[in-house]
Amino acid sequence: MEIKKIVIAGAGTMGYSMADIFAKYGYDVVLYNHRQETLDKAKTKISEASREKIAYTVDMQAFGDCDLIVENIIEDFDKKFAFYQELDKYVKDDTIIATNTSGLSINKLSEAVSHPERFIGFHWFNPPTLILLTEIIKNDHTRDDVAKAIYDLALSIDKKPVLVNKDVLGFAANRLQLAVVREALSLVDAGVVSKEGIDDVMKYGLGFRWACLGPLETLDFGGLDTFYHVSSYLMPDLEDSHEIPKELAEHYERGELGVKTKKGFYDYANGKDVEATKARDTKLQKLFDALYKE
C-alpha cells in the first residue's frame, strides 16, 4: 500500500507537528480543523520550510481524496467515535484511518467506521519533533498490509516504530509509564521520598540509563540472577492499587493540571512555564543530538 497524500485531523500541538514533519519529508499534506482560528494559529507554529507546502481546511470534503487520515482530536472516546461516524461519510473504502489516541481502545474506536480492517492506532509522543518512538496498534481485524504500510511510513520519516499486536488500554508505553507513576506517587505519599527526590531518581538514575538501554537489556547487563533475587522480596511489596493515585486526583480536582494551568506538582507561575518548557526542550535536543544525530 502506497501512502502519498495524508490528511491530519486536528490542528493542536500534535496535529500541526505531524503535518510539519510529513511535509518536510515530501508527503502531500492537508491539515484539517473544524475551527479556522485554530488553523490560523497552527500555521504560525509550523516551520517556515513546511508552512506553504501544507493545505489548510475546515471542509470535511478533504477526507474524500487521500491515502491516510491521522486523527488528533480531543482525547475523549465519545467525541472521537462521533467524529469517525461523520468521517465515514466522506472517506474511500481503501483509505487507512489512524488514531493518535494515547490509550483508548482501538477495537472500540474501529466500530465507528466501515471496513474496520483499515483502522489502526498510530501513537506519537510529545514533543513529536524530538521523541522518535511511535506505537502502531492493531485492532482485532487490522490487515497486516495496513500495519506494514504505517510501519514503513514511520520509518520513512525517521521515527522508531514499535508494533503493538494486541489492543490493550494504554498500549505499551503508557502502561509502563503509569506503572512507574503509581509506584512513584506511592513512595511520595508514604513520606519515603520527596517529589523532587523521586524525579531525581528518574532523571539521574533510571531515566539516564533507560535512554540507552531498555528495561530488559538492563536486566541482562545487571544479571538475571540479581534481578531474580530482588524480585523475590520486592514484588510482593510494590504498590498494586487499582485506584487513581491520591495526589494526582487531588491536583486534578483542584484544576491544577501542570504547565498548562501554571500549577501541578510544581509551580509554573510568573513565566516559570515558559522557562520549564524551554529547559525541557533544550535538554531533549542535547540528548537527541548526543545519541542519534549523525
Sign of CA dihedral 285, 132, 169, 216: negative
Comparing CA positions, the residue from 68, 102, 97, 66 lying closest to residue 83 is 97
Q: What percent of the chain has pLDDT over 90?
A: 98
Is the model's pLDDT at 35 over the cut of 90?
yes
Tell how far CA 100 is from the center of its chain: 7
Per CATH, the homologous superfamily of domain 172-292 is N-(1-d-carboxylethyl)-l-norvaline Dehydrogenase; domain 2 (1.10.1040.10)
Long-range contacts of 54-58 (CB under 8 A, 24+ apart): 54/19, 54/20, 54/23, 54/29, 54/30, 55/29, 55/30, 55/31, 56/11, 56/30, 56/31, 57/30, 57/31, 57/32, 58/32, 58/33, 58/34
> Helix or strand or coil: residue 5?
strand
| Check whether domain 5-164 has CATH 3.40.50.720, yes or no | yes
Overall pTM > 0.75 = yes
When the pLDDT of each residue in the chain is averaged and rounded to a whole number, the result is 96
Give kind and range of the element (H or E) at residue 80: helix 77-87
**Is the separation of the CB atoms in 80 and 73 below 8 Å?**
yes
Domain ranges of the chain: 5-164, 172-292
The 10s digit of each residue's pLDDT in 156-187 is 999 999 999 999 999 999 999 999 999 999 99
**Is the separation of the CB atoms in 10 and 71 below 8 Å?**
yes
**Is the separation of the CB atoms in 134 and 152 below 8 Å?**
no
Is the model's pLDDT at 143 over the cut of 80?
yes
CA terminus-to-terminus distance, the chain: 30
Burial class (CB in 10 A: 0-12, 13-18, 19+), 8: buried
When pLDDT is averaged across residues 104-121 and rounded to a whole number, the result is: 97
The 10s digit of each residue's pLDDT in 231-256 is 999 999 999 999 999 999 999 999 99
Q: How far is the CA of 16 from the CAs of 10, 31, 81, 187, in angstroms? A: 8, 7, 22, 38
pLDDT of 1 reads 81
